[in-house]
Amino acid sequence: MKCCASLNLSLHHKSDVTGLYAHLTGVPKALLPGVGGKKILDFWWETVNTRQLFSEVYLVTNADKYKHYERWATANDFPVENVVNDGSTTLDDRLGAVADLELAIRSRQLQDDIMVIAGDMLCADQNFDIAQVIRFFRSKPGELAIYYELESGEKSYTRGIVEVCPNTHRVMRFFEKPQEGVTASRLASVVFYCLRKESLLYISEFLIQHPDVNDRTFGKFWEWLINEEKIPVYGMKLPTGFQLIGQVGLSDYTKWLAHYSSKQQLSPSKPITCRSFARVGLMGNPSDGFNGKTIAMSIANFWAEVTLMESQTLVLLPHPLNDPTEFGSLQDLFRISRKEGYLGGLRLLQATCKKFYQFCSEQGIALSKQNFTLKYDTNIPRQVGLAGSSAIVSATLKCLMKFYNITDNDLPKPIRANFILNVETDELFITAGLQDRVVQVYEGLVYMDFNKQLIDERGYGEYVPLDMSDLPLFWLAYLGNPSDSGRIHSNVRQRWLNGESTVVEAMKSFAELTDQARAAFQCKDWPRLAQLMDENFELRRSVYSDDCLGPGSLKMVQLARQFGSAVKLPGSGGAVVGLCMDTERLVEMKRAFQEAGCVFCFIVPYDPSVQGQN
């Protein structure tokens, strides 16, 4: 692949009322001095100067500025013979951007894929991974146009605007500096393109059809290419912070200087810490894996917390308890391994990072090359079905999104839940459903409908946050020494896939119970909710054998019912959640659970609308 940079423009000083930049009048924009003397072009040269990515790099300029770039090339070990002079000296005899590119292709006899970059493009984050751009380009059967989302103060009529299909990433329309109201899109195209060698002939065809130099812009070229349906054009989104120096450009230039001045003075960026909370399934589970409906709630009692710190290399730190690397003896290793297995959280961090990079590459989101260190902590009990694994994945994803400026538009909440599930099922082969991931993304009390038709049509179900005011006091108990809860699913899934009527009808009944529970939450009919919780457990027991539910879970259910409390399994097993309407008996029940060797606590619901809640 070849790389060509267009470098013809220079800074004007008409808007410089201070006179601070008068000495830069006529200096090519790409050679404007930055912090520490580093020029804009220096950033791009560092980025593309990787021989494994590009076989050759060319600069295209006019005769008026050629000497500037010749001197820069000599000082920066850039091949002077790769600076292409288009011979123009004024605006009147300029060739136009597309003609400049055609000149480089023709004069250097280029017969390869080409990346085109504007020399006057600025980026607040110069560390993005250009290799990722190339990989995305090669994964698509067409050309690639790079775009970014306009900042709030930027006007669409100052940029080329693209409309991009969010599913296919195909550029559907291109507008060259459209007037207000022409398009609702806020996606601005920049002169950062990838062209296939098979498409280079279209450049000559375009120039023949557009003899006027004013029409020989890249914007007009893309507009023509898309309208004529010559070849598909795909779009890739760049991180926030990309800017172009315009015809005047002084404000953008000064903002760029200020950004890098402050960046040099500031200490390394502050650590990013994110939490995700455990959840309890209050109704409908485990039908989330069977196109059913559920209601679940995130709880503040238990959480997973991930911290991301910028670093020179990418480091994943093992947890001292969950990922032990030192043991008192071989016997100590044997006992810990026999009890806890080999399933710490380090694999979750690694799998999330891998899947995140893959997702961004597939979705056309360019990432920074900045590195980081990840560490995690959690107080979620293991093997009791409170969604501990997905909480670590969810918290890690939050950190990565903040670090790389990935917005909710880039990764919407419903798709985020799918992402978390895919990390566990695709990468780590964990049997799981969507419920836990949805409630950890949305947080709070959430009604979820996993209707097959909805999921087949758009990839996700219907997720509705419910009012959390005046909730009753739920309680949670779990085994002090739980066994592996993963056995709970037994062969029910295969029976369901086989169309066994007992299982199919049970999953429909779970959905009906969930709709009734939603009504009970809305009416705050807590006795009715308690009744439905008991029905949920009995329905589950009728489908899953007692052996599958486990003697420990059944013992806790029987104990709760001795005190008149509603009770059910909040997850895959090893814990029970309940609702006791009798406050006095609730205290007695707590003591009974503790004497039976169980851990008992009152649930603290996590409400995302309450600011500062821990």
Residues classed as catalytic: 436
Short-list 360, 602, 292, 379, CA closest to 473: 602
CB atoms within 10 A of CB 341: 11
The helix (run of H) or strand (run of E) holding residue 359 is: helix 346-363
Backbone angles phi, psi at 568, to 5 degrees: -160, 175
Q: Which helix (H) or strand (E) holds 521?
A: helix 501-523
Q: Half-sphere exposure of 68 toward its Cβ, with a 13 Å CA cutoff?
A: 22
Residue with tokens 């296939």: 196
Among candidate residues 277, 252, 272, the one with its CA nearest the CA of residue 190: 252
Angle at 1 between CA 362 and CA 32, to 5 degrees: 90
- CB 74: neighbour CB atoms within 10 A? 11
From 345, 347, 367, 352, select the one nearest 420 (Cα to Cα): 352
Quickly list DSSP for 447-472: EEE--HHHHHHHSS-EEEE---TT--
The answer to whether 155 touches 186, Cβ cutoff 8 Å, is no
Spell out the SS3 assignment of 192-251. Answer: EEEECHHHCHHHHHHHHHCCCHHHCCHHHHHHHHHHCCCCCEEEEECCCCEEECCCCCHH
Q: Kind of pairing, strands 293-311 and 445-449?
A: antiparallel
Q: Which amino acid is at 302?
A: F
Backbone angles phi, psi at 551, to 5 degrees: -60, -35
Tokens 């009770």 -> residue? 567
- Quote the CA–CA distance of 315 and 343 in Å, as a whole number: 19
* CB neighbours of residue 402 within 10 Å: 13
CA dihedral of residues 187, 189, 190, 193 (deg, nearest 10): 130
The answer to whether the CB of 105 falls within 8 A of the CB of 199 is: no
Report the amino acid identity of residue 409.
N
Q: Report residue 6 as tokens.
A: 């267009």
